Structure 1
Amino acid sequence: MSEGRTTLSETGSIRAPRFAVAALGLSALLSAIGVSIANVALPMLAEAFDAPFAQVQWVVIAYLLAVTTLIVSIGRLGDLFGRRRLLLAGLTLFSASSLLCALAPSLPVLIAARALQGAGSAAMMALAMAMVGQVVPRERTGGAMGLLGSLSAVGTALGPSFGGALIEAAGWPAVFLVMVPLGLGAVALTAVALPADPPRDAAAGRPRFDLAGTFLLGATLAAYALSMTSTRGAVSPALFGIALAGAAVFLAVESRVAAPLIRIGLLARGRLASGLVMNVLVSTIMMATLVVGPFYLAGGLGLGPTAIGLAMSVGPAVAAIAGVPSGRLVDRVGAQTTSVAGLVALCAGALLLSLLPASLGIAAYVLPLAVMTSGYALFQAANNTAVLQDAPADTLGVTSAMLNLSRNLGLVTGASVMGTIFALATGVDTLQAAGPDQIASAMQATFAMAASLAAMALIAATRAPDTGAAGADHPPAAAAGPRRT
């Protein structure tokens, strides 16, 4: 072959890229399961370690904090020292820390092990998406992004049910122990299927890493995440102020250092800035379905736990089914059109939830939820494809990391802000005191706000630069990948 990409042979075989995409998809699946599978174990962990919920919940928070604070730095390290190399390191750390979680003799050890597991997951999230352009042709990038989105949705949905079955069969250590063989399998597949990192340019000298920016960004993100999670739904003003101050200092430092963690100029280039803003807004909206949904289904419609679980599973199921077709639509009609279509569906679903009366029953919740989730799948596939195809080749890792970070920030923001809107809209001091009509009204108010946020994202999408369809004749450096002879 004149072009040394490892994606297609002269005979047109796609065996190699299929294995490569499978390796990247397994990383996305495991990182998503790692987020959700531990939640179901919290009651048993509280009993096993004789600890209050306020302490046990750090098993979840430690993982999320590690991902949030480290993901951009790890993405940048992948750009500098090799994405495949860092992905393998992340998978290995994830596997080893999963074993440590299962063997943890005390709650502090388990929390520390979960933080290590989150660090491994940060590498998996950032670098799996970043490597898509290196293993598939440009005209199939959308399909690969859609597959990663589907597997992430499957992992999020599978975690609680899979974890519950494992706990019932073998106790809480099983939810962590099962990750060990899966992680090691991902290590083996990644080592075999993904192309080697290109050799470093000796003339360029030793790569420089922005330690000051890394520390400032990590501290800022930690303060923001804690401001949204430490006061049970209300934002902590002190921590939020620290986060704002940290962000200002970070931007000032990054504009002056020779080798910044994030090139500030990239935020004004192409689709990155608008893509990140839209990602935050959309993730904030989707978190409302997870925070408000259970309260409405139980208190507003009077459903039992089994029915609530089935209703809540509709969203992840639709996202899993819609992911690959969404990606293929991106390849066919382009990211701009698909992104706008997804946001229209998201806005329409949220608007329906804000208008349909509770008297229509569960169908009036589940059907709009399916519309929202299908729109979310369309948007994610389109937005991720557009941003990464528009990014310079030497920033793919950090760009992918920022996409994942913006999603995580939207989720933690949604958990706090949308939950607070819902609680205030009930008009009572505690949710336990709210009646069905008050809960239904609060749900409608929350999704009216969600529809407004979706409209804001839609306006941003229509004004964002169009990077063109995936099969254009001028592939950017982001999708080209390393050329080899």
Structure 2
Amino acid sequence: MTRPHDTVHSPPAHHSPSIRYGRQVLSVTSFTGLLTGLNTSGLDVALPDIVGHFHASAAQTSWIMVGYLLSSTVLLLVWGRLADLFGRRRLYLAGIAAFTLASIGCVLAPNAWILVLGRVLQGVGASAVITNTTALLADAFPPERLTKALGVNAILISATQAAGPLLGGVLTNAWGWSGVFWTSGVAGLAALGWSAFVLRPDHGSGSAERFDLAGALLSMVFLGGGALALTGSGPRGGSTAAPAGWTSAPVLLSAALSVAALLVFPVVQSRRRYPLLDPWLFRDRRRTMALLAAFLTAVSFFSVVLVMSLYLQTVEHLDPLSAGLQVMLMSVGAMLTAPLAGRLATRYPARLLSSVGTATSALGIAILVIALGPPAPPTLTGLGLFLTGAGAGIFGVPNTGELMTLVPPHRRGIANGVRSALQSAGYLISTGLSLALVTVHGPQADRTPDDIGAPLRAMPAGSQALAESHRTALLALLCLCLAATGVSLLRGGTYRPAPEKTLTTEGPK
């Protein structure tokens, strides 16, 4: 009997790649990139205003950021597999609709915990969008054009992320924090209409394969438990709550459940004919290292914008707009280098380009560590942010392109789901770790009881202790970025787009 992954399906004739349709799909994925872009970099700038409005505790502050990342990460593998089974278009449109409704719900939140709930629901919708984005492009473009398409998609998304801090600052200054969510809702409605118009119907493999419910539940326990263990290191809640610590009972229980699920997961998957996460995906060294490098890179540079946004507002006392103008240089760097990486990816190995990218980001973070004062020289912090983003732009396109061309079309949904889950897990860890180092381990002595529950309120001008806590967070990110460089170099092999003639119409038997 032939295993499902032993043969490679060609897309049906009416779904065959074409330049015109590929460009339309590219416009869809780039447009929806605005949704996630605004809800990361834009909300980073608005976070101090949210804290002030709700008088949020440190636990609530953490969950406003982490709740979105947690729900999106936990469901990525599930949505990726369901997209392979029942069609990407359905999941994509449902994700946009859910995200849009949740964004409007966030505006109407009466307190911080309801806002956290809205953010969790945003993440549920966003995960269905994220896990299908790259797979839609891989289906729409022929292999020899895929990396260029990924490069264009990356530059357009980077452009929206670059505008995120600036737009977040403008909206926060004009209408407060709710302006960010109103904009997400309006953009979501437009994205939903355009996506429904452009995307072709697809049906996936349907009843030919079964959904692995046990694997899905185990993956959610593993990812969710690990995330809860991380976020549990923050305060327990309440305006005067003390940090729970990584050795508290809830943290240890969450970690134990996560480890147990991780140990049982491969055993369950090996006994499934149609597993959620086929072990085949990790039998190639290039695929495995590409996935691990994507995870470590996400951990290392994702929260740089958050750390610097908080530093500029709480230590340097800049307003949200001014802080947004500075941190947007990171996205500008990615926007300028991503298309160049897309062109170079057809000529040079992914190992070389991706490793150069992570090394460039490491250099940028190192400059930021040196620059933090107070006061921090704007020229030096700008250079650090730009190089960090430039490295991210160089890394992403060849790494993702290599992974997609090493996976058959009928497994691209779950393969991209794994990549997206690892990246989102990296984003979650990056955010939780940075917030823990900045808020939990920052200066406590000069705070009133109310200040302990709102660690992101402005500290006295020139607070050296708070600056040191931000520097500690950046040092941790720098070490992770150097680790990502080492993993990227270990992948071996070279990147070559898969030729069309290797595809066969034979299906699973």
**TM-score range, shorter-chain basis?**
0.7 to 0.9
1:144 is displaced (CA, Å) by 1.9
Match of 1:361 among 377, 380, 385: 377
| Partner of residue 220, structure 1 | 222
* 1:62-88 deviation digits (Å, cap 9, x = unpaired): 322210111110011001111122112
Q: Secondary structure at 1:271's aligned position in 2?
A: helix
Task: Determine the structure 1 residue equivalent to 2:240.
Answer: none
| Counterpart residue type for residue 384 of structure 2 | P
Q: Does the C-alpha gap of structure 1 residues 475 and 288 become closer, same or farther in structure 2, counting only changes over 3 Å?
A: farther
Which shifted more, 31-40 or 375-384? 31-40
Task: Give the alignment of 1:206-355 within 5 angstroms.
Answer: 206-232=208-234, 235=246, 236-287=251-302, 289-294=304-309, 302=316, 304-305=318-319, 308-353=323-368
**Within the alignment, does 1:461 sit opposite 2:488 as a pair?**
yes
The counterpart of 2:122, out of the listed 117, 124, 143, is 117
Asked if 1:188 is matched to 2:193, the reply is yes
Asked if the contact 1:392–1:476 (Cα under 8 Å) also holds between the matched residues in 2, the reply is: no
Provide the secondary structure at the position in 1 that maps to 2:388: helix
Q: Distance in 1 between matches of 2:233 and 2:325?
A: 30
Q: Is the 8 A contact 1:135 1:194 kept in 2?
A: no
How far does residue 253 in structure 1 lie from its aligned partner after superposition?
A: 1.9
The amino acid across from 1:413 in the alignment is I
Distance 1:260 1:240, change over 3 A: same
Quote the sequence identity (%). 26
Q: Corresponding residue for 1:370? A: 386
The question of whether the paired residues in 2 share the 8 Å contact of 1:40 and 1:163 is answered with yes
CA shift for structure 1 position 167? 5.2
**In the alignment, what sits opposite 1:75?**
80
- The CA RMSD over aligned residues, in Å, is 3.9
Report the residue type matching 2:318 in the other structure.
G
Q: Which moved more, 1:101-110 or 1:61-70?
A: 101-110
1:434-462 per-residue CA deviation (whole Å, 9 max, x = no partner) reads 97776777766665554443333223222
Give the structure 2 partner of residue 405 of structure 1: 421
Partner of 2:25: helix, strand, or coil? Answer: helix
3-state DSSP of counterpart to 2:413? helix
Distance 1:429 1:151, change over 3 A: farther
Q: CA deviation at 1:247?
A: 1.5
Q: Which amino acid aligns with 1:225?
A: A
Contact preservation (8 Å) 2:41, 2:161? yes
Whole-angstrom distance in 2 between the partners of 1:476 and 1:440 = 55
Which amino acid is the alignment partner of residue 88 of structure 1? L
Output the CA distance in 2 between the equivalents of 1:48 and 1:437.
26
Q: Distance in 2 between matches of 1:70 and 1:92?
A: 16
Distance change in 2, residues 1:288/1:482 (3 Å):
farther
SS in 2 for 1:313: helix
1:7 & 1:138 partners in 2: Cα distance?
9
86, 91, 94: which is aligned to 2:91? 86
**C-alpha deviations, 1:337-368, integer Å up to 9, x for none?**
32122123223334445567969933333223
Residue 11 of structure 1: aligned partner: none
Post-superposition Cα deviations, 1:163-210, rounded to whole Å, max 9, x if no partner, equal 454455556554334334422322232233233315757xxx453111
Which AA in structure 2 matches 1:216? L
Match of 1:34 in 2: 39
TM-aligned CA deviation for residue 284 of structure 1: 1.9
Shift of 1:329: 2.2
Residue 355 to residue 475, structure 1, CA distance change in 2 (3 Å): farther
2:398 aligned partner: 382
Supply the distance in 2 between the matched residues of 1:219 and 1:19 (Cα, whole angstroms): 37
CA shift at 1:377, angstroms? 0.8
Name which of 15, 19, 25 aligns with 2:24: 19
Counterpart amino acid of residue 262 in structure 1: L
Equivalent position to 2:70, from 65, 72, 77: 65
Alpha-carbon distance in 2 for matches of 1:249, 1:441: 41
SS at match of 1:131: helix
Alpha-carbon separation, structure 1, partners of 2:49 and 2:23: 40
Specify the code of the residue in structure 1 equivalent to 2:495.
G
Query: Shift of the alpha carbon at 1:222?
Result: 1.5
| 1:396 alignment partner AA | R
The residue that corresponds to 2:449 in the other structure is none
Q: Tell me the secondary structure at the aligned position of residue 200 of structure 2.
A: coil
Distance 1:200 1:380, change over 3 A: closer
- What does residue range 139-154 of structure 1 map to in structure 2 within 5 Å? 139-154=144-159
Greater RCO, CA 8 A, separation 6+: 2
2:381 match: secondary structure:
helix
Contact 1:141–1:331 (CA under 8 A) maintained in structure 2: no
Structure 2: how far apart are the matches of 1:388 and 1:164? 36
Q: Give the direction of change, closer, same or farther, for the CA distance of 1:19–1:371 in structure 2 (3 Å limit).
A: same
1:32 positional shift: 2.5
Residues in 1 aligned to 2:441 and 2:109: alpha-carbon distance in whole angstroms: 42
How much has 1:396 moved relative to structure 2? 0.9
Take 1:439 and 1:42, find their aligned partners in 2: how far apart are those partners? Answer: 17
Distance 1:73 1:335 in 2: 28
Q: Determine the C-alpha separation between the residues in 2 that align with 1:169 and 1:440.
A: 28
Q: Distance in 1 between matches of 2:45 and 2:468?
A: 29
Using the size of structure 2 for normalisation, the TM-score is 0.78
Moved more, 50-59 or 338-347: 50-59
Q: Which amino acid is the alignment partner of residue 207 of structure 1?
A: E
2:408 aligned to 392, 395, 398, which one?
392
Give me the whole-angstrom Cα distance separating, in 2, the residues matched to 1:50 and 1:450. Answer: 29
Q: Which runs of 5+ in 1 are unaligned?
A: 9-13
CA–CA separation in structure 1 for the residues paired with 2:172 and 2:183: 11
Say if 1:19 and 1:193, in contact at 8 Å, map to a contact too.
Answer: yes
TM-score with structure 1 length normalisation? Answer: 0.81
- Residue aligned with 1:379, SS: helix
- Give the distance between the partners of 1:100 and 1:93, measured in 2 at CA: 11
* 1:286, distance to aligned residue in structure 2 (A): 0.7
